[in-house]
Amino acid sequence: MRRTHINAALFLVALFIMGVALSLSAAPTRPASTSAPPARPSGVVMPQPVLRIATYNVENMFDRYDDPYTADSSQDQGTQPKPARALYALAKMIKAVNADILALEEVENRGFLEEFCSAYLDGMGYRNIVLIESNNSHRNGRGIDVALLARVPVISATTHQYREFAVTNGGTMRFHRDILQVRARPPGFPDVHLFVVHAPSRMGGQQRSEPLRLAEARAGVAIMAEQFADKTDAWVVVLGDFNDEPKNASLGVYESNPGVPLRCVPATDARGKPYTWMKAGSPYPPSCFDNILLSRPAGAQLKGKGRIWNETGAEDASDHRPVSVDLSAPAR
């Protein structure tokens, strides 16, 4: 009788152990409470958000409609509509770069840029499209503007096309296109103040064109000094097609700016080449005309160096190559 009670007790204990085992195997693997994120492990640095900023001269991005007030649709000036094949290649390049903020040069108008984003860049998140018609879109101009696409919030956009300034060889001038100022507010970052540049080309020779680029650079530096000379923590980014290389005088004007010190970010492609402009059959050598300059606070967050995106098919999209930098969010 006693042995029977013992056997029964052992049987009940075995059933209890089996039940516990089964319940543990069926329990969910996630934490019981999901109301708060898991604690940061001691001594482990969590990754910071990264902001990618890029610039891209999209070479004569003209629509299929003739504007009677500008020199678009002109074979002599290279302003004919950009073919669908080139637009497809352009979209492929932009998707490869995958920038959060993308400055553009040589765009005809906002309507065409919006159409392009809708047809070719759907899903990229570029809900902020900034383009203000500039001095080159006035009567008899080629009709090309600077622009900006952003998937981060944009707070404001300012044109400086009406500003007059002295030219080094005498007289006064305005920006040939504009220096478009955009204030963006990426989550987790300070406000970023971007200045999109498309300096005068080298057509007509260096002696004629360099004074124009120098004058625009000095005017750009003056605008920044007026706004940020007493704001040493400002994130300022100057980017675009300078039609000059980092070693040239106009870039030196930006870098020697005492009010808002800037540094031109070195960049190379996957082959280690520093060229952003190249054209097959051209008598001119490859050059580094497209650049990104950062103020000290922004430059302190630079990850590595700049990248030139000379990917397969890039020559079908433009005679320029995109350039990008990655910036880390400052520690909080």
pLDDT of residue 139: 60
Beta strands in the chain (DSSP E): 50-61, 101-107, 128-131, 145-150, 154-158, 165-166, 172-173, 179-184, 192-198, 235-241, 262-264, 267-268, 290-295, 306-308, 323-328
| Residue 196: inside a domain | yes
Which tens digits make up the pLDDT trace of 11-28? 444 444 444 343 434 333
| Residue 5: inside a domain | no
Q: Could you give the percent of the chain with pLDDT greater than 90?
A: 70
| Residue 97: inside a domain | yes
Q: pTM, whole model, 2 decimals?
A: 0.84
- Pairwise CA distance, residues 185 & 232, whole Å: 18
Instruction: Tell me how many domains the chain contains.
Output: 1
pLDDT of residue 17: 44
Amino acid letter at 241? D
For residue 180, pLDDT beyond 90: yes
DSSP 161: T
pLDDT of residue 5: 44
pLDDT of residue 78: 57
* 319: exposed, middle or buried (Cβ count in 10 Å: 0-12, 13-18, 19+): middle
In angstroms and rounded to an integer, the radius of gyration of the C-alpha atoms of the chain is 28
Which tens digits make up the pLDDT trace of 37-89? 344 444 445 567 999 999 999 999 999 887 777 765 555 555 689 999 999 99
- Pairwise CA distance, residues 238 & 240, whole Å: 7
Which tens digits make up the pLDDT trace of 275-328? 999 998 888 999 999 999 999 999 999 999 999 999 999 999 999 999 999 999
- Cα atoms in the 13 Å half-sphere on the side-chain side of 128: 20
In terms of residue numbers, what domain contains 292? Answer: 50-319
Q: Are 129 and 135 in contact (CB under 8 A)?
A: no
**What sign has the CA pseudo-torsion 95, 97, 103, 108?**
negative
- Pairwise CA distance, residues 207 & 45, whole Å: 53
For residue 126, pLDDT beyond 90: yes
Looking up residue 313, the CATH number of its domain turns out to be 3.60.10.10
| Residue 327: inside a domain | no
| Residue 329: inside a domain | no
| Residue 104: inside a domain | yes
Helix (H) or strand (E) holding 119: helix 110-120
| Residue 288: inside a domain | yes
| Residue 43: inside a domain | no
